[in-house]
Structure 1
C-alpha cells in the first residue's frame, strides 16, 4: 500500500475460494493462486473468507490440537507469499487448550495480529459454540509462536494511515454488542467481514442490505467475503463478495461459480466515495435461477470431491426423481459453459466430450423399475425425460421380486395378503424391492445413488425407509413439494427442458396401490399447499397445534383444517426416526428438516397428545 501515505486510495479485493476441510495441498494452492491473481492486479488489500486455511466445516476435528497446529504451519507458508500486499486470512487458533475462530492480518510478509471472533452462531445449521470459544470484547493478549510475539483478540490495525478492523461473520448479525459499533467510535476506515454463510434462496439480498447499511451506519468501507461451493457435503456457500462504502454498494461479484476461486477488485478512495470506481458484475437473484445454480454447483463439488464415477437414479416419472435428473443435466450444461468441456471432463475424470448430452450419458444412469401398479404414463414421462437430457436409461420390472417376498410372508402367516388388511406393507414391499438392485447397479458403476426424498415427505414420513429413501445423497430433501412442482414448470419453459412436459402433466402419485384405486399423494396426506402452511408455522416458527390453527382458520370453525393439523403433528412425531436416517442432503432453503443440519427433534416423545386435545 505504498500509495496510501499521500493519497488514501487503494485497490481492495475479496477472494472467495472453494475449499475442502483439511485438504491442505488443495487449500494452500487455491490461496496461492488467488494471491497471484491479486498481486498481478496490483491489489493493496486482499481479504479471504472465514477459516479459509482449514475449511469452515471441519466440525469436531476443530477440537483437536493438531488441526490448529497444522493450520499455523500452513499460515507461515502463506505469509511467505505475501510480499508487497496486505492479506486477511482465516484460521483456527488454539490458546490454552481452547480453540478460537481467527482472522489473521498479514502485511508485506509480516503478521500484524489475529482478530478473534466474538459472537458464535448456535441456531439452525450453526453449531460453533461446540468447537470455538467466543472472544471477549475489548480484550487483547499476546501469544508466542516459534519465538515470535503476536497480538490476538479485539484489534484495530493501522496500515500506512488506514485503520482496518474485522467483524467475522456472525459478529455482523447480532443485535446487541456488535463489534462494528465500537469500531466506528475508534475511527476505523475499513471493516473486513470474512464469512462462511450458508446458501439459502433469496438470502443474498438480505446480506447486501446488511453490508450496505453497515457501511452507512459505521461511516466506513465495508468488505464482505463468503466461502464458495459445496465444501463438505451438506452446506453450500454462494461465494458472495460485497463491497459497500458509506451506504452505497460499490462492488458485487457473480456468485456460485464453478471456478476454484474468484477474486473481485475495486479501486477504492477511502475519503471520497464518489471517486471509488464501482465493480458490479451481473448476478441473478431470481429464486428459481438461484436454485439451479446452487444445486448444479453442489452436485458438481460432491461428485468430484467424493471421487465417485457418476450418479445412479431410480427415475419413476414423478416430480421428485425428474427434478434430480434435470439438476444433473443442468450441472453438466453449466459446468461445460463455465469451465470449458476439457476442464469440466478432466475435473470429473471423464474422457473429453464436447457435447453436453453425451457427458450426461457418461455420468447419469436412470432406471424405471415398474410393477403391475405402474402406469404407462409414468414410464413414458421417465423415458422421454431421460432421452431428452441424454441420460443412460434402463427399464425393468420388479414384479417377480415383489411376488417372491409376498409369497414367503403368506406362507409364514398362513394366509393371503390383501389390500384391505395389509395396505402399508404391500405398498412398502414394492418400494423396498427396488432398492437392492439399484444399489447393485450403483456399486458396479462406483456411482452415487441419489435418493428422491423431498421436505414435505420428510415432515410426515411419506416415504419407505430402505426403499425410495435408499441412497447416499438426497439433493432435494430440503425442498417442499410445491416448490419442486413449480420449479419443474419453470425449467420446462425457461431452461427449455422440453422433456419435462410429460412429467408436468401428471399428478403426484406413489403408484404403489392398484391402478383402479387412483392413488394420489394429496389424497393420502392433505393438499400440499396446506401441508406447507402448517409446516411453516409448526416447524420454522415453532408454534403449538392450537397456535397453528388460530393462525390459519380465519376466525371460523374448520374441522378439515383441525384434522390436517392433527395428522401433521402426529405423523411428524412418529417419523423422526426416518428423518434421522435420511441420506445427507443439501441445505437450500430457510427451512430444513434434516436433524443433522437444521431441525433437531426427539425420536421418542409425547407426540403432542395434550396439545392436540386443545383442538
Structure 2
C-alpha cells in the first residue's frame, strides 16, 4: 500500500503584512511536519496576502515576497517536506500569480495560474496575466536574494507536475477549480495522483456547498486525491475568506477544517491510499481510453518519497460527511470573525453602535456579542494569539484573568440609544435590554436639544420653520426634518466614539458601526451621511429577510432573548412624530416590501436584467399575485428609486460582503451613479408590453 500523509491549511493572512504572513506560513509548515506530513499546501498568494490589489503593481511587493521565501529557505523549515507556497512572480517581464514548490531548501518548480478570476469581487487580470503556454515549461532566472540562499540560478517555470519516487503531484489555483475545462481534468488524464489547490475564496451566504461540490467532483469522475487550502479572515477589505481547508479522495471528503474561526493557523491532515486512485481509475475504461490518447503534462523528477515506507502500518482516513452551517450560523460567525480581525488590526480599542432597538442595529449588536463569544472562547481554549489580543484590546495586564464574553463586551463595546421626541418607549426598552444581555456599556441620551438648535439655526437664516407632514408640513419639510435627526445621530456617534475612552480613563478610540442592510442600500432608503458614514458595517451585505431569521435564531443560540421581541416589531425609522392614527413604517415609506426588494436585487444583479426584462420575468413569476399594471408600476417604482438614490452607494460604509446582489459601489457592483431616473425608453417599452398583455387577457 502507498499511504501518504498530506497537509493543507487555512491561514489568516493580512495584505502586505510580510512579517506576520511568513510567520504564519512557517507555523503551518512546522505543524504539518510535527503531524508527520510530507507535503503541505497553503492559500493563494499567502506571502503578500491575497488582497494587495494595486500593490501587486509595485515591484516592492514582488521583491518582499522573494525576500520572505529566501528567509523560509534559509533554515531547516522545508527539510523533508514538500511545501507549496503562493506568491507573485515576474517571469520574462510578465507578472504571474504562482505556486512555488520548495523542498529541502531548494525550489523545484514555479507553476503560474492559467485562469484568472475577473468578476464579482475579483480583478485579477488587472494585476496578473494568465499563463499562455499550457503543458509547457521554461527556465526562470531567480533574484539574487534567493540565489544567495539556494545557489540556484534557474528553476523550472510553467504548467507542469512533479514526479516523485513513489507518486505524482500537481496543482491548480482557486478560479481554475470553477472553470469548465478545469486543469485537474487534464492532470488526471496525465496520471497525476495528487492535485492541490491553493485558494483565496471568500464567504458568501449559502456558497460553501457550491465549492464543496466542485471539490468532490474534481475527483469523482477521474479519481485522485484533491487538497484544498484557503485563506481565512479579513485581510484588509470587505471580504471574509472562510477557510474550510479539506482533502478529498475519489470524490469523497476525508478531512475538513473549520469555516469560521479566530484561530490564525489551522492545519488539516489526512492519510490517503494512492493505490485506491489507481484502482478507481482502472475500473473506468472510457477514462483509460482518453488518458491513453491525451498529450501528457510534463513532469519534473524529484528524488523524494511522499509515502510511508511501510504503508501497511497506517490506516487511510475514511470518508466523512461535509459539515455545513445554516444561513443563521453563517451570519452569526462570518461577520463576527470579520469584525474581530478589523478591530484587532485597526488599532482601535472597541466599537460604538447607535442602538435604536430596531432589527438592523440589534442584529449588528448581536454580531459584536457573537464576536466577543468567539474571541474569549478561543482565548480560554489555549489560543495564545487570541488571549493576547483579548487582553490588549481590553487593556488588561498580561497576567490578568481572561474576561468572560460579557465582561469583554463591557470593555470594548459601547451602545447608545440616541432618542428623540419621536422615539418610542418600546425601542428604548429593547435597546437597554439587549445591551444588558450582551454586556455593552450602554448610554441612553436625548438629542432633542441638538435638533432644536439646528432647526433654530435654520429659522435664524430664513425666518421659516419646517413642519412634519402630520403637523401640516410639506413632503420636503418632512424629509428635511427626518434627515436632520439622522445626520445629527451620525455626528454625535463620532463625538462619543472619539471621546468615551478618554472619559473612562482608557486609551484609544472606538470605531462607529453602521447598520443598514443590503436591501435598504439597494433602494437607497437611508439618509446620506447617517448610517452610510460609519467606519464599518457588518450587515451591509445581508438581506432584511435573512436578518429577521437571524434575530429569531440568535435569541436562542446566542443567549440574547430580547432579539425575539425585536424581530416581532414592525420596522420603523422613528424619525416622524407618533400619533394615535399614525406610526411611521419602513415598507410604507419605501413603497415596496423587503421581500420585493430581495427579488428586484437578485434579478438586477445576479440575473443581470434591466427594467424591461425584469418586467417580463415578473409577469410570469407574479402573475397570480398582482395585475399586469401593478407589476409594471412596481418595476418602474423600483428602478426610479434605485437610480435616483444610486449616488448614495458611493458613500456606503465599507460592508461585509455576504450577498450576491449587493449594490456596493466600490468594486462589486460597477454601475453608474448618475442616471436618467425617468428611464423614458425602458418605461415606454414596459407600458407597451403591459398594454399588449392586458389586451391578450381581455381576448
TM-score of the alignment, normalized to the shorter chain, above 0.5: yes
Match of 2:694 in 1: none
1: CA distance, partners of 2:517 / 2:667: 15
Q: CA deviation at 1:550?
A: 2.5
Instruction: Give the equivalent residue in structure 1 for 2:155.
Output: 150
Aligned: 1:498 with 2:538: no
Alpha-carbon RMSD: 1.8
Q: Structure 1 residue aligned with 2:414, among 361, 365, 372?
A: 365
CA shift digits 1:438-488 (9 cap, x unpaired): 101111230110011111110111111122323110111111112111210
2:348 matched residue in structure 1 = 308
Does the 8 A contact of 1:255 with 1:283 survive in 2?
A: no
8 A contact 2:99–2:111 mirrored in 1: yes
Q: Provide, for residues 414-448 of structure 1, a one-character-per-residue CA deviation record: whole Å limited to 9, x for no partner.
A: 32212232111111001011122210111123011
Equivalence map 1:258-277=2 (5 Å): 258-272=262-276, 276-277=316-317
**CA distance 1:16–1:571, shift in 2 (3 Å):** same
Given the alignment of the two structures, is residue 389 of structure 1 paired with residue 438 of structure 2, yes or no?
yes
2:389 maps to what in 1? 347
Following the alignment from structure 1 to structure 2, what is the Cα–Cα distance between the partners of residues 596 and 263? 34
Q: Identify the residue that residue 605 of structure 2 maps to in structure 1.
A: 539
Q: Which residue of the partner structure matches residue 183 of structure 1?
A: 187
**1:487 aligns to 2:550 (yes or no):** yes
Residue aligning to 1:560: 630
Q: 1:283 to 1:217 in 2, by over 3 A?
A: closer
How far the C-alpha of 1:222 sits from its partner, in A, is: 1.0
Contact 2:185–2:218 at 8 Å: present in 1 too?
no
Matched, 1:241 2:307: no
1:605 aligns with 2:671: no
Asked whether 1:278 is paired with 2:318, we answer yes
Match of 1:563, SS?
helix
Deviations 1:489-509 (A, max 9, x none): 111133331122331231110
Report the Cα offset of residue 280 of structure 1: 5.0
Taking the aligned partners of 1:23 and 1:163, their CA distance within structure 2 comes to 34
Q: 1:591 offset after TM fit, Å?
A: 2.7
Q: CA separation in 1, counterparts of 2:522 and 2:140?
A: 49
Q: Secondary structure at the match of 1:402?
A: helix
User: Which structure is larger by alpha-carbon Rg, 1 or 2?
Assistant: 2
Task: Tell me the secondary structure at the aligned position of residue 532 of structure 2.
Answer: coil
8 Å contact kept, 1:164–1:189: yes
Check the 8 A contact 1:267/1:278 in 2, yes or no.
Answer: no
CA distance in 2 between partners of 1:372 and 1:426 (Å) = 12
Quick one: which of 206, 214, 218 aligns to 1:202? 206
For the 8 Å contact 1:253–1:281, the answer to whether it is kept is no
Per the alignment, residue 596 of structure 1 pairs with 666
1:499 and 1:439 map into 2 onto residues whose CA distance is 26
Alignment of 1:25-44 (within 5 A): 25-44=19-38
CA distance in 1 between counterparts of 2:139 and 2:154 reads: 6
Contact 1:252 1:281 in 2 (8 A): no
- Please say which of residues 449-458 and 104-113 is displaced more in the overlay: 104-113
- TM-superposed deviation, 1:279: 7.4
Q: Which aligned pairs between 1:166-177 and structure 2 lie closer than 5 A?
A: 166-176=171-181
Any idea what SS the aligned residue of 2:78 has? coil
Residue correspondence of structure 1 range 94-133 to structure 2 within 5 A: 94-133=90-129
235-244 or 560-569, which deviates more: 560-569
Correspondence for 1:463: 526
In 1, Cα distance between equivalents of 2:66 and 2:588 = 59
- The 3-state SS of whatever aligns with 2:88 is strand
Preserved CA contact (<8 Å) 2:170 2:187: yes
Per-residue Cα deviation, 1:273-317 (whole angstroms, up to 9, x for no partner): 696313759844211112211112111111111121000000011
CA shift, 1:341, in A, is 7.7
Unpaired runs of 5+ in structure 1?
A: 1-6
User: Quick check: 2:11–2:25 contact (8 Å CA) kept in 1?
Assistant: yes
Structure 2 match to 1:3: none
Q: Distance in 2 between matches of 1:288 and 1:326?
A: 12
Counterpart of 1:322 in 2: which secondary structure?
helix
Pair 1:376-2:380 in alignment? no
**Which of 558, 574, 578 is the aligned partner of 2:644?**
574
Does the CA contact (< 8 Å) of 2:253 and 2:321 recur in 1? no
Count of residue pairs the alignment pairs up: 608
Separation of aligned partners in 1, 2:495 and 2:92: 50
Task: State the SS of the aligned residue for 2:50.
Answer: coil
1:388-421, Cα deviation, whole Å (9 max, x unpaired): 1111100111111111111222232232212232
CA–CA separation in structure 2 for the residues paired with 1:153 and 1:263: 28
- Please give the alpha-carbon distance, in whole angstroms, between the structure 2 residues aligned to 1:139 and 1:587: 38
- 1:213 CA drift (Å): 0.9
Structure 1 residues 70-94: Cα deviation after superposition (integer angstroms, max 9, x where no partner): 1011112222310011110100001
1:102 to partner: Cα distance: 0.3
User: Is 2:209–2:324's contact at 8 Å kept on the other side of the alignment?
Assistant: no
User: Contact 2:437/2:559 (CA < 8 Å) preserved in 1?
Assistant: no
- Equivalent residue for 2:367? 327
Deviation at 1:552, TM superposition (A): 2.3
Deviations 1:242-295 (A, max 9, x none): 211122222212221211100001011111269631375984421111221111
Answer yes or no: is the 8 Å Cα contact 1:91–1:104 preserved in 2: yes
Alpha-carbon contact 1:341-1:353 (below 8 Å) kept: no
SS of the residue 2:25 aligns to? helix
